[in-house]
Structure 1
Amino acid sequence: MQQPCYHCGNDCVKSPILFDEKNFCCHGCQTVYEIFSTNNLSSYYDLQSSPGAIPQEIEGKYDYLDHPDIIKKLIEFNAGNIQVVNLYIPHMHCSSCIWILENLNQLQSAIKTSQVNFPKKTVRITFKTDTVSLKEVVKLLSAIGYEPYISLNDYSKGKKKVDRSLIYKLGVAGFAFGNVMFLSFPEYFEVSDFWLEKYKYLFRGLTFAFSLPVVFYAAQEYFISAYKGVRSKILNIDVPIALGISVLFLRSTYEVLTNTGSGFFDSLTGLVFFLLLGKFFQQKTYSFLSFERDYKSYFPIAVTKISKIEGGVEEENIQVYKIKKGDRLLIRNAELLPVDSILISGNGQIDYSFVTGESETVAKNSGDQLFAGGKQLAGAIEVEAIKSVEQSYLTQLWSNAVFSKDREQGFVGLINTISKHFTWAVLSIAVVATSYWLMVDSSLAINVLTSVLIIACPCALALATPFALGNMLRIFGKQKFYLKNANVIEKIARIDTLIFDKTGTITTNKKASIAYEGMPLSNEEASLLKNTLRSSNHPLSRALYDFLAEQDIQTLDDFQEITGKGMHAIKANKSIAVGSAKFVGNETETETLATAVHVKTGNHYKGKYVFHNQYRKGVKELFQQLKKGFHLMILSGDNQGEKKYLQQLLPLGTDMLFHQKPEDKLNYIHTLQKEGRKVMMVGDGLNDAGALAQSEVGISIAENVNVFSPACDAILEAGQFQQIGAFIQAAKQTVGIIKSSIVLSFIYNVIGLYFAVTGQLSPIIAAILMPLSSITVLVFVTVLTNLKGRKLFKKL
C-alpha cells in the first residue's frame, strides 16, 4: 500500500519516517514540515493542492543548470567556493513566503544567506559551491513550492519579467462594473411593466455572471492575504475588505436566486474596481519614487581612472556611473571594486565579505577576474573594467542582509500596531451595528455591515508612513544626502546626541597647507613615499599624495595599512613607515598644534609633514545651530594640539576626546547608549566604521573618494556638510507630517463610521470614498513633504 509523503506527495517506499502522526519520505521533508509548524506556517499545506509537490519531470527539468556557460550568465558573483544568484519568484505573495525564503539555510546548510526583495519578487541567495550547486538550489526552491522563473534571454539582455496581473484585474473589474451599472438602469428607474414581464431575470442573471470574475479573479488577492493572515495569527488590513466583498456577494446571490431583490452587484463590482484603482495608483507612485531615488549618481562615489598620455599616465577622479568597459582603474587599499574587472597589476588580496559575509581574503593574480563589491586589502592595484556599473547594484550591496542590524522599528512599528488594533475595532463596530439594525430594521442591516467594513479600512493609515518617508528620501537624494533606506529618516528624528570625527569630517584636506620638517628625502625615498601614499585612502594620505611632486608609478612588493595608525611598505628591499609619531617609533616627538604625518625609512626617522588644517565652511554656524537641541561631541584619533583652537571655534560645552582609537570610539558610543542616548555618528567611513555601525545613525562624509562602507546608514557629500542641521530638521518634520496624517485618517474614519452605522451611507458610496481617502492621505503627505523640503533647502 502506497504511503504518500505529507510534504512532497511522493511515495514513502518501504520505510516511511513517522513524525507528528504524519508520514515523510525523508528527513528533509520532515525538517521542512517542522520549520513550517514551529513558525505558524502550516497554512502552506492548506493553500496548496499538492503541498511541496515535486513534478516527476523536475528531475531533468533543470539539467541545463549544469552547463558552465549558462551558470556564468545567471550567477551574480563567483569567487572561491561562494556564489550569489538573484532569482525571480513569481509565487511570492505574503509575509509567510518571505519568512520561508529568508530561512532557506535551515533547509540547506550550504546556503549562507537568502535576502528577499518583496516588491520585485526576487530572492538573492548566497551559497557554498563545494556543498551545493545552483541546480540543487533551484530544485530546493521548487520543492517547497517557490519555483523560480528563469529566462536566459531576459538575463542576457538585462530585462525583467513585468507583472501585469494588476492591470488585467483592474480591466476585468472596470469592464464588469460598467456593464453591471448599465444593466441595473431598469432597477434604478423602476421601469416596472417592461421590466417585470420580460427581462428582469435575464438582467439579474447577467449582473450575477459579471460579478463572478470580479470576486473569484480580480479580488482573489484580498481573500488569499486575509486567509493567510488569519491562519498565521496576523489580523491584516485585508480581513475587513475580504469580509465586505464576501457579505456583498453572498447577500446579492441570495436575493437573485430567491427572487427577493436584485442584490448589490453594482456596489460589489464598484468596490473591487475602486480598490484596485487605488492599488494601481499606489504602485505607480512607488515606481516614480524609486526612479527618482535611483537616478544616475545615487552615491557620491568616485574612482580613479588611469589614462595614458604623452610622457606618462594621468589620474583623474570620475563618478562610478561613468565607468565604461575597457577603462583602466586604480583601486587603492581598502577601496571597493565598483565593477567586475580584470586584475592588470598589483598584489590582489580581495575581501568579499561585503558580498558574502565571509571575512577570509582571496588572493588574485594578474589576469584573474574580480567581482564588484570586493575590497582590496594589500595596497593599490590596477584593473580593467569588463562592464559598466549600475548604481542599483551598489544599492543592493549596501542593503545586503549580511550587514543588517537589529534596530528598533520605531514609528513604522507604531503604524503597524495601530492598523492591527484598528482592524479589531472595525470588526467589533460592524458586529454591534449589524446586530442593532437586525433588531430595529433588518432591511438596513446588510447595508450597515458592508458600509462599515468598507469605509473603515485602515489602508490610508498604513500608506501614510511609506509615502511620507519615501518622498523625503527622494528629496534628500536630490540634496546629495543618500540614505540606505527610508527608515533611517525616522531614526534621525529620534537622535539627541551628535558625535563628529575631526580629520576628514569637520576638516577638509583640499585646502590644507602642508610643510615638511626634517632631513631631506632622497629621490628613491621620495618615490617610495609617493607610491606608498598612492595605495592609501586615508584623507591625510590623499592630501599629501596630491601635495608631493610627481614620481614614477611603481608596484610595491609589500604594503600594510594599520587602521588609525599608519602604513608599512617595501620596494626592492627598501622599507618605509608612514603615520603617527608613535607608529614610526619617534617617542620623543612633542605634541604640536597641527596634525602631522611622520616618515621613517629603514631604521632612520626622517621627519614629518605638518598639516595646518582648514575647517569646512559653515562648521561654526552648524555647531551653534545644533547646540540648541543636541549634545555635541568631537571624537578624534589625532592629538589634542588643536583643542584650544576648537574650543574657540565650537560652542561652549562641546565635549572633546582625542587619541581615540577606532575601538575606543565604538566603546564610547556604546556607553552613551547604555545611558539612554540616541547617537548619530558623523565620520569619514574609514577609521570610524565601528562607531558608525554602533550608533543609531551612522553618516559617512564622501569627498571625491571611493570609500563605501556597509557600516553607515547614510552618505553625505562633503559640500553639503553645513546642511546637517537642515536634514535633521526635515526628518523631524516628516515624522510630524506622519502624525498629522494619522489624525486626518482617524477624523475621516470617525465621520464615515457615523454615517455607516446610522444606515445613511450606501455600500457603493463607501466603495468610492475608501480609495479616495487613501489618495487624499497620499497627496497630503506628498505635498507637505515637498513644501517642507523646498523651504528648508531653497538656498541650495
Structure 2
Amino acid sequence: MEHKTCFHCGLDASEASITFDNKSFCCNGCKTVYEIFSENDLTSYYDLQQAPGATPKDVEGKYNFLDNAKIVENLLEFNDDNTQIVNLYVPHIHCSSCIWVLENLNKLNPAVSSSMVNFGKKTVRITYNAHKVSLKNLVQLLSRIGYEPFISLDDYAVGQKNVDRSLIYKLGVAGFAFGNIMFLSFPEYFQVEEFWLEQFKHLFRWLMFAFSLPVVFYSAQDYFISAYKGLKSRILNIDVPIALGAAVLSIRSTAEIILDLGTGFFDSLAGLIFFLLLGKFFQQKTYSFLSFERDYKSYFPIGITKISADGEESSIQVYDIEKGDRLLIRNEELIPVDSILIKGKARIDYSFVTGESEAVSKKSGDKLYAGGKQVEGSIEIEVLKSVEQSYLTQLWSNDVFNKNKEDAFTTLTNAISKRFTIAILSIAFIATAYWLLTDSSKALNVFTAVLIIACPCAIALAAPFTLGNMLRIFGRKKFYAKNASVIEQLAQINTIIFDKTGTITANKETAITYEGSQLSNAEEDFLKSTLRNSNHPLSRSLYTLLKENHIVPIENYEEHIGEGIEAHYNQNFMKIGSAPFVGLASEVKNLNTEVHISTNNTYKGKFTFYNRYRQGLSKLFNQLKPTYDLVILSGDNAGEKENLTKLLPAKTKLLFNQKPEDKLEYIKHHQNSGATVLMVGDGLNDAGALAQSDVGIAISENVNVFSPACDAILDASNFNSLYDFIKASKSAITIIKWSFILSLVYNSIGLYFAVSGQLAPVIAAILMPLSSISIVVFTTISTNLVGKKIKQKVEKT
C-alpha cells in the first residue's frame, strides 16, 4: 500500500483512503477543516507550515455548560452589551500557521472583531459581538478547526491559567536516567574487567541504551523541535547546536553498542540534557521570582480620588483600592477597577480594551469595566473588585500597544544569536574535518565536545536576568517600565522632549491669584463643581484652591482640548479656559499662565498661575544636555519663555502653543530624520506623542492619568532622577555586553581544549551549566551595584 500522509495534520493517511481536492486526509475531521479553510480563503495556513493542523475532536455536548450565563460571566474578561472579550488557553498552538489562522478568525465568523495570539502562553484573546455569536459557538468553532481550548472553571475562578509542569517532568526523567546510566557505567570507569566482560557487559550496555531513550525522545524533544522549526524556516536559532550535539551522541553511542565497539557516551548524553534542563529550570525559577517581586502593583503608582462616607475627597494609590470603596472618576480618567455606576452621566470609551472607538452611555446601576475612559464629566462609582482581579493590570501589557515599537526594534540577544550559532557550527565542522584527517578516533569526541562547551545558554540568560533585575530595581525607585525591551530602547535615545504643564512644573507648589469681578457664592460653587470634572493640571490646582465650596450637579459638561471647559447648571452656563475661548476680544500678554472665566457670556475675570518648576529641574537638564538634544513642547503661550531661558541650558529648544497633534507631528518629523525620541509628558493630552515616541514616559502626581500608550510611569517625586534611570539603562546594556564577553572568553578556553581533543563530552556537559550560573551571579551582582548608585543619588537629591 502506498504510504500517504494527511495534508492537514501529517498523520498516516494510507488506510483512510479519504481524498479531496487531490489531497489525502487521515479522517473526515481533517478533511472538514480543510474544506472550511478553502471556503473562507484561508488556505495560506498550509503555506506557512507543512501539515500544521491537529485532528479535530468530537465535542458534541462537551461545552453545554457554556449555556449557563453565570459560568460565562466568570470566564469573560470584558462584557458590555454587544462586545465580549475572552482569553482562551489553546494547547495546540505551536507554529506560525496556528498564529495566522487564529488571528484571522473573523474570516470564519464575521462576529469576531479581533483575535490576538500570545504564542509564549499559548492563549488567544478574542473580541466578538455577543448578539451574533455566543461563547459556546466560538469554542465549538475553535474545536472544529483543531484548536480546542482548555477550559478549567477552577483555574478561572482564582484568575490563573493551567500551570505547565512539563519542564519539571522532563528534568526529573533526565535526572533519573542520568543517575542510573552513571551507576551502570561504574564497572567501566573502575575497569572491573572480569566481572564486566564475563557476565554483565551487554546487559548493562543495553540498559544504558534503554534509559537514554526517554531522555532523547521526551526530555530533549523541545530542543529538537525548536531546531527543526528553525531550520525549516531557514533560521539558525540557538537550539541548533544543542540538538546536533545530542543527536551525534545518541547515534554514535547506539552504533557502538550494536556493533559491540564500546559503551558509547550515554552518560554524557544524559548529563548534557540534564544539565541543560537544570539551567533552564534555574532560569525559569529565578526569572519568575524577579517577575513576582515586580508584580502588577508596580505598574500603578497613579492616584485615584476616593470619597469617604462623610463626602471627604482624598487621593489614594490605585493598588490601595478595596471592594466597596466609592471613587470619583473625572473627565478623561480611566476606570481602574470593575465597578457599579452610582452617580453622574457616564459616557465610556472602551477603545483601550475593545478597539471600538465609539463611546457607550451608561446609567446608574450599570456595571463599568476597568480600562474604560470617562469622556463626559465626572462620575462616582462603587468598586466591585480590587485591582488584583480587574482588567487594568493586563491592559498596559496588551500587545496592541506594543506592536509598532517592538516590531521595529531588534534586541541585543537576537542580534548576536544568529552569528554565534554560525560561528559555533563552523568551528565544530572544521575541527571535526581536521581530526578525521589526522586521528579519526578523536573526531566525534571533538565534534560533540565543541557543541556542548559552546552551548549558548550563557548568552540566552544574560539579557533576561540583567533586564529583569533592573526592572525590579527601577520599580523600587518608583520608575515603572512596561517590559524589559523598554530598558534597551531607553539606552538608545538621543533626543528628549518634555511637556511643560504637569511635567516640568509642580502642580502642588503653584501660586494662584485672581483678578476680576467678585464671584457670588453660587458662581463659586458652579466653578468648583465644573473644575471637579476636569483632570487637567491647571483645573486640579484651581479646584484644590477652592476648598470650602459646595458641589452641585453639573449638566452637559464638555472639555475642549487645548482651549478650555464649559458646563451647564440650572439654566446657567460657564466657560473656563483661554481668553478667546471665554469670549474675551483682546488678550493682554502676560508672562504667566492664565485661566479666564465667563458666566452666561459675561466675562468675570482670570486666575493667574505662577509656575513653580520641579526641584532639581535645572540640574537635570544640565546633566542631560551634553548627551541629548532637549526640547520643551508646551500647549501654553510663550509667557514662560523668558523664565525657562534663564533656568535651562543654552540651545534648549522651546516651542509654545503646541496642540496635541502638533507634538505628535514634531516627534514623527525628528524620527524620520534619524532621531530616537524619548517623550516625557503628563499622560493626559500627550497620549499621541507618547505612543509615537520610541519611549514614552508618563509623569504621575496623585492623578489617574495612566495611558496604555506610555512605556513607563515615573513618580513625580523622582522626576529629578530621570538622568540616573537613563544612565542605569545604559549600564544594563553594558552589563549584558560584558556577560557576552565573559561567555566568549569561557567558550574560547573551552573550545581550545575541545578542539584539541583534551575535553571529554561529560566534562563539557558539567562545565556548561556552571558557566550559566556564573553569568546569572555576575548580572545580579552588577545590576544591584547599579541600583545602589541610583539609591545614593536619589537620597542626595
Shorter-chain TM-score tier: over 0.9
Task: Mark the CA change 1:401 to 1:195 in structure 2 (over 3 Å): closer, same or farther.
Answer: closer
Kept in 2, the 8 Å contact 1:356–1:402? The answer is no
Task: Mark the CA change 1:409 to 1:170 in structure 2 (over 3 Å): closer, same or farther.
Answer: same
Task: Mark the CA change 1:555 to 1:16 in structure 2 (over 3 Å): closer, same or farther.
Answer: farther
Aligned residue for 1:793, secondary structure, equals helix
After superposition, residues 3-402 of structure 1 pair within 5 angstroms as 6-7=7-8, 18=21, 25=32, 27-30=35-38, 34-38=43-47, 40-44=48-52, 51-56=53-58, 58-93=59-94, 97-98=98-99, 101-105=102-106, 107-294=108-295, 296-309=297-310, 313-390=311-388, 393-402=391-400
Task: Mark the CA change 1:743 to 1:297 in structure 2 (over 3 Å): closer, same or farther.
Answer: closer
CA distance in 2, matches of 1:235, 1:52: 26
Paired position in structure 2 for 1:791: 789
CA distance in 2, matches of 1:106, 1:736: 47
1:597 corresponds to 2:595: yes
CA distance in 2, matches of 1:678, 1:297: 26
CA distance in 1, matches of 2:375, 2:679: 25
CA distance in 2, matches of 1:419, 1:706: 41
Paired position in structure 2 for 1:719: 717
The number of equivalent residue pairs is 781
Paired position in structure 1 for 2:608: 610
Kept in 1, the 8 Å contact 2:57–2:146? The answer is no
Q: Structure 1 residue 508: deviation in Å?
A: 0.9
After superposition, residues 754-769 of structure 1 pair within 5 angstroms as 754-769=752-767
Kept in 2, the 8 Å contact 1:410–1:490? The answer is no
Paired position in structure 2 for 1:729: 727
Aligned residue for 1:644, secondary structure, equals helix
Q: Structure 1 residue 480: deviation in Å?
A: 0.6
CA distance in 1, matches of 2:260, 2:601: 104
CA distance in 2, matches of 1:136, 1:679: 46
Aligned residue for 2:246, secondary structure, equals helix
Aligned residue for 1:537, secondary structure, equals coil
Kept in 2, the 8 Å contact 1:83–1:129? The answer is yes
CA distance in 1, matches of 2:331, 2:343: 14
CA distance in 2, matches of 1:538, 1:775: 50
Paired position in structure 2 for 1:430: 428
Kept in 2, the 8 Å contact 1:321–1:391? The answer is no
Q: Structure 1 residue 278: deviation in Å?
A: 0.3
Aligned residue for 1:648, secondary structure, equals helix
The one-letter amino acid of 1:234's match is I
Kept in 1, the 8 Å contact 2:371–2:391? The answer is no
Q: Structure 1 residue 476: deviation in Å?
A: 1.0
Q: Structure 1 residue 200: deviation in Å?
A: 1.3
Moved more, 89-98 or 126-135: 89-98
Moved more, 271-280 or 206-215: 206-215
Paired-residue identity, %: 63
Unaligned runs of 5+ in 1: 45-50
CA distance in 1, matches of 2:42, 2:417: 31
The one-letter amino acid of 2:179's match is G
Aligned residue for 2:126, secondary structure, equals strand
Q: Structure 1 residue 189: deviation in Å?
A: 1.1
The one-letter amino acid of 2:711's match is D
CA distance in 2, matches of 1:279, 1:102: 30
CA offsets 1:144-180 (integer angstroms, 9 cap, x no match): 4432221112212334322222112111111111111
Paired position in structure 2 for 1:536: 534
The one-letter amino acid of 2:141's match is L
CA offsets 1:272-300 (integer angstroms, 9 cap, x no match): 11011000001011101111211634321
Paired position in structure 1 for 2:693: 695
Kept in 1, the 8 Å contact 2:557–2:565? The answer is yes
Task: Mark the CA change 1:427 to 1:95 in structure 2 (over 3 Å): closer, same or farther.
Answer: farther
Paired position in structure 2 for 1:48: none
CA offsets 1:533-563 (integer angstroms, 9 cap, x no match): 0001011111100101323323222111111
Aligned residue for 2:566, secondary structure, equals strand
Kept in 2, the 8 Å contact 1:294–1:392? The answer is no
Aligned residue for 2:312, secondary structure, equals strand
Q: Structure 1 residue 100: deviation in Å?
A: 5.0
Moved more, 290-299 or 71-80: 290-299
CA distance in 2, matches of 1:212, 1:24: 34
The one-letter amino acid of 2:271's match is G
Q: Structure 1 residue 107: deviation in Å?
A: 4.7
The one-letter amino acid of 1:554's match is V
Q: Indicate which of 481, 484, 505 corresponds to 1:483.
A: 481
Task: Mark the CA change 1:295 to 1:404 in structure 2 (over 3 Å): closer, same or farther.
Answer: closer
CA distance in 1, matches of 2:157, 2:389: 19
Task: Mark the CA change 1:277 to 1:256 in structure 2 (over 3 Å): closer, same or farther.
Answer: same
Moved more, 579-588 or 527-536: 579-588
CA offsets 1:460-484 (integer angstroms, 9 cap, x no match): 2232222222221111111111111
CA offsets 1:459-517 (integer angstroms, 9 cap, x no match): 22232222222221111111111111111111111111111111111111101111111
Moved more, 214-223 or 265-274: 214-223
Kept in 2, the 8 Å contact 1:299–1:391? The answer is no
Q: Structure 1 residue 269: deviation in Å?
A: 0.8
The one-letter amino acid of 2:270's match is T
Task: Mark the CA change 1:465 to 1:372 in structure 2 (over 3 Å): closer, same or farther.
Answer: same
CA distance in 1, matches of 2:424, 2:132: 52
CA distance in 2, matches of 1:199, 1:5: 45
Q: TM-score, normalised by structure 2?
A: 0.93
Q: Structure 1 residue 353: deviation in Å?
A: 0.4
Kept in 2, the 8 Å contact 1:471–1:785? The answer is yes
Kept in 2, the 8 Å contact 1:635–1:656? The answer is yes
After superposition, residues 505-516 of structure 1 pair within 5 angstroms as 505-516=503-514
CA offsets 1:642-698 (integer angstroms, 9 cap, x no match): 211111111111111111111111111222222222111111111111111121111
Paired position in structure 2 for 1:47: none
Q: Structure 1 residue 130: deviation in Å?
A: 3.4
CA offsets 1:617-647 (integer angstroms, 9 cap, x no match): 0011111111111111111111111211111
Paired position in structure 2 for 1:564: 562
The one-letter amino acid of 1:291's match is F
Q: Structure 1 residue 408: deviation in Å?
A: 5.9
The one-letter amino acid of 1:367's match is G
Q: Structure 1 residue 330: deviation in Å?
A: 0.7
Q: TM-score, normalised by structure 1?
A: 0.93
Moved more, 365-374 or 190-199: 190-199
CA distance in 1, matches of 2:536, 2:604: 21
Task: Mark the CA change 1:102 to 1:479 in structure 2 (over 3 Å): closer, same or farther.
Answer: farther
Moved more, 462-471 or 571-580: 462-471
Q: Structure 1 residue 366: deviation in Å?
A: 0.7
